[in-house]
Amino acid sequence: MNRILVWDLPTRVFHWLLAGSFAGAFLTAESERYRDIHVVLGYTVLGLVAFRFLWGVVGTRYARFSSFPIAPRRVLQYLKSLFTRSPQHHIGHNPAGSLAIYAILALAVLAGITGYAAYNEIGGEWLAELHEGAANAMLGLVVAHIGAVIVSSLIHRENLVASMLNGYKNGRAGEGIRRKHWFVAAAVLLATAGFWAGSAGLLPEGMDIRATAAVAQHQAHGGRG
Ligand code: HEM
Ligand code: HEM
């Protein structure tokens, strides 16, 4: 067994930014006072998931969707194997984890879109209800996800949390990925930081998309008001 690189940097940066933004959006959801922060973090979740859909197609071996398909029969086989003496082991996402990941990504998109609708008063009360429902369902899955990570770390005697941090797992030489893609990871980090800074009004006008749009709108209205 060797230490092999499994999770590229963009996947790890995506994961922890998603976890933080989701937690932040949830914690700021109830109060009108934090609504702006809630909306910014909600859009961050949407942006991150959009990136992940792209990276799922062009990313490295274990980050690609083709390496962790939705396969209900394999989920059952995997879960059954956990109760035997030789539980199935997967270098990338296991079949049950894969299913949870797709559900989390789908609910994140639903929460983001319905949040946008609620914020812009499109669609009425039921969309706001759907928004809350999607966010709560996502929270339920995240709790199950964290539980499953702990259980499967114990069963397989490998620290999955550490590998989502440093990218490495134990495996056969040749099974690992070769590149970390730090440049893509830096771009994701910069885009997120830029969006947050712009939303907080910290960027100079020329760099801030929202301020630039506001100026353009002002000029379009003949500079009045
Ligand atoms: C709070 C919100 C969280 C969300 C929305 C979330 C979501 C996800 C997603 C979408 C993936 C798939 C990664 C990918 O391929 O892109 C994943 C994997 C993973 N997450 Fe989380 N996660 C959250 C919190 C956590 C926490 C707190 C931990 C640590 C205790 C954790 C540990 C992991 C690990 C270890 C994996 C890789 C699982 C594997 O080896 O197959 N996650 N998570
Ligand atoms: C994707 C991550 C998101 C999560 C997890 C989330 C979560 C929640 C939750 C749980 C509530 C219910 C709060 C309550 O108890 O009243 C809520 C309300 C709300 N959220 Fe989000 N949200 C997200 C994204 C967004 C986005 C992107 C927007 C706007 C663009 C948004 C706008 C709102 C608004 C306006 C409400 C109040 C709805 C009402 O009138 O009841 N959210 N959100």
Q: Does 145 sit in the ligand 1 pocket, CB within 6 Å?
A: yes
The CB-side HSE value for 131 (13 A sphere, CA atoms) comes to 24
Mean pLDDT over the full length of the chain: 94
The ranges assigned to domains in the chain are 2-180
Give the separation between CA 122 and CA 104, rounded to whole angstroms: 24
Q: pLDDT at position 201, please?
A: 85
Decide if 10 contacts 62 (C-beta within 8 A): no
pLDDT digits (tens, 9 = 90+) for 121-134: 998 899 999 999 99
Q: Does 36 sit in the ligand 2 pocket, CB within 6 Å?
A: no
SS3 201: coil
Atom in ligand 1 nearest the alpha carbon of residue 62: 15
Pairwise pLDDT comparison (103 vs 218), residue with the higher score: 103
Lowest mean pLDDT: which of 66-70, 171-175, 188-192? 171-175
pLDDT mean over 197-215:
79
Q: How far is CA 150 from CA 76, 153, 159, in A?
A: 19, 5, 8
- Band the pLDDT of 225: cuts 50, 70, 90: very low
Q: pLDDT at position 114, please?
A: 97
| Residue the block writes with tokens 């067994």 | 1
Give the separation between CA 164 and CA 4, rounded to whole angstroms: 13
| Residue the block writes with tokens 């996947």 | 11
pTM over 0.85: yes
Q: Does 96 sit in the ligand 2 pocket, CB within 6 Å?
A: no
Please give the CATH number for the structural domain made up of 2-180: 1.20.950.20
Q: Does 18 sit in the ligand 2 pocket, CB within 6 Å?
A: no
Q: pLDDT at position 214, please?
A: 74
- Band the pLDDT of 223: cuts 50, 70, 90: low
Q: Does 144 sit in the ligand 1 pocket, CB within 6 Å?
A: no
Ligand closest to the CA atom of residue 10: 1
* Most distant CA atoms of the chain, gap in Å: 75
Give the separation between CA 152 and CA 137, rounded to whole angstroms: 22
**Residue of the nearest CA to atom 24 in ligand 2?**
42
**Residue partners of 101: CB distance under 8 A and separation at least 6:** 68, 93
**Residue of the nearest CA to atom 23 in ligand 2?**
42
Atom in ligand 2 nearest the alpha carbon of residue 135: 5
Q: Does 141 sit in the ligand 1 pocket, CB within 6 Å?
A: no
Ligand closest to the CA atom of residue 112: 2
